[in-house]
Amino acid sequence: MQTHPITGLFGAEITGVDLAAPITDEVASFLRQALADHLVIVLKNQAISEDQHYALTRVFGRPAVNPYAPGPEAHPEMTYIVKEAHERTGVFGGGWHTDLSFLDQPPGGSVLCSLEVPPYGGDTMYCSQQAAWDSLAPALKDLLDGRRVAHVGKPYGIKWAPPLEEQAMKGSTKRGDPDADRERMHPAVLTHPVTGRKGLYINPTYALRLDGLSEEMSRPILQELFAHCTLPEHSLRIRWEKDMIVVWDNYATQHYAINDYHGHRREMRRIAFWNEGLPAWAPEAA
Ligand code: SIN
């Protein structure tokens, strides 16, 4: 098994692993360590079944149902992310975010498999919240360390609901949920339980305000931080091929699905996982 870094800061392609074969303990611990070290791992030419997708997800944690985009009744943890060739809507995940950070228990990561990819476009971008922390000005580190941030589920609630024409996967996602508008507080800074590296835990889709400051007072600070997190230097871009798998750490990265392939179909299959959860990343806040 080999690891090939994608950028100087994070992301790695893993070769020498066949995920259609039973996953041994050795492979599982290699993959877990690779995810801890690189935050986004890529495996190419892996045509895996639904059962094998579940088995791979269990390497990292317990498969999680996305309450706003559950899968079919037989396997609700499996979200199919589909944009049809004729659709002119937004795409699922088409803005910088960490998954479901407005929940009390956001998932720890996800395993995404490409089933059908457009001939061009449809890339996914990631940014490292650890790289963003490392290069943050000391005065901002002081402001954020030990502070909490309020998150709300804007796309899924009522108060901030986006216009209908911008909504992706309307038939299969839950919308208009008043509970999504409720503020949930999470630490602004997390510490990786394996590597000990610190990272920001904010994102423009769900983070609303800093604890102790109003939305208006927080906005310029958060805007500055969002721009900092997603700098090209802190980012990477995944060019999908069919039967490719990307696993990401949802507490230490953000991601962004690019909506630039109108006229072509794209289908992905995703299972999120719960691991030790945020308390393991912020023991002092638990
Ligand atoms: C997402 O999980 O937010 C979407 C990822 C993608 O479709 O590339």
Measured in whole angstroms, how far is the alpha carbon of residue 225 from the centre of its chain?
18
Q: What is the pTM (predicted TM-score) of this model?
A: 0.94
Sign of CA dihedral 130, 230, 109, 16: negative
Cβ atoms of residues 32 and 109 within 8 Å:
no
Q: Whose CA is nearest to atom 3 of ligand 1?
A: 93
- Angstrom distance (rounded) from CA 146 to CA 133: 14
- Degrees (nearest 5) of the Cα angle 66, 69, 72? 95
In the structure, what pLDDT confidence band is assigned to residue 142 with cuts at 50, 70 and 90? very high
Q: How far apart are CA 189 and CA 130, in angstroms?
A: 9
**Angstrom distance (rounded) from CA 98 to CA 70:** 17
Say if residue 171's pLDDT is above 70.
no
Mean pLDDT of 162-191: 82
CA 240 to ligand 1: nearest atom: 8
Choice among 38, 53, 197, 255 that is catalytic: 255
**pLDDT tens figures, 148-161:** 999 999 888 888 87
Is-catalytic flag, 270?
Answer: yes
In angstroms, what is the span from residue 54 Cα to ligand 1's centroid? Answer: 18
Residue 262 appears among annotated catalytic residues: no
Amino acid at 43: L
Tens of pLDDT, residue by residue over 73-132, are: 999 999 999 999 998 888 889 999 999 999 999 999 999 999 999 999 999 999 999 999
Widest Cα–Cα separation across the chain? 53
CATH classification for the domain delimited by 2-275, as one of 3.40.50.11540, 2.60.40.10, 3.60.130.10, 1.20.120.530:
3.60.130.10
Q: What is the pLDDT of residue 155?
A: 83
Long-range contacts of 169-176 (CB under 8 A, 24+ apart): 169/69, 169/81, 169/82, 169/92, 170/89, 172/69, 172/80, 173/68, 173/69, 173/92, 174/67, 174/68, 174/69, 174/70
Q: What is the pLDDT of residue 234?
A: 98
Does residue 285 register a pLDDT over 90?
A: no
- The overall average pLDDT reported for the chain is 94
In the residue annotation, 99 being an active-site residue is answered as: yes
Reduced to 3 states (helix: H, G, I; strand: E, B; else coil), residue 176 is coil
Q: For 56-65, how does the pLDDT look when each residue is reduced to its tens digit (9 = 90+)?
A: 999 999 999 9
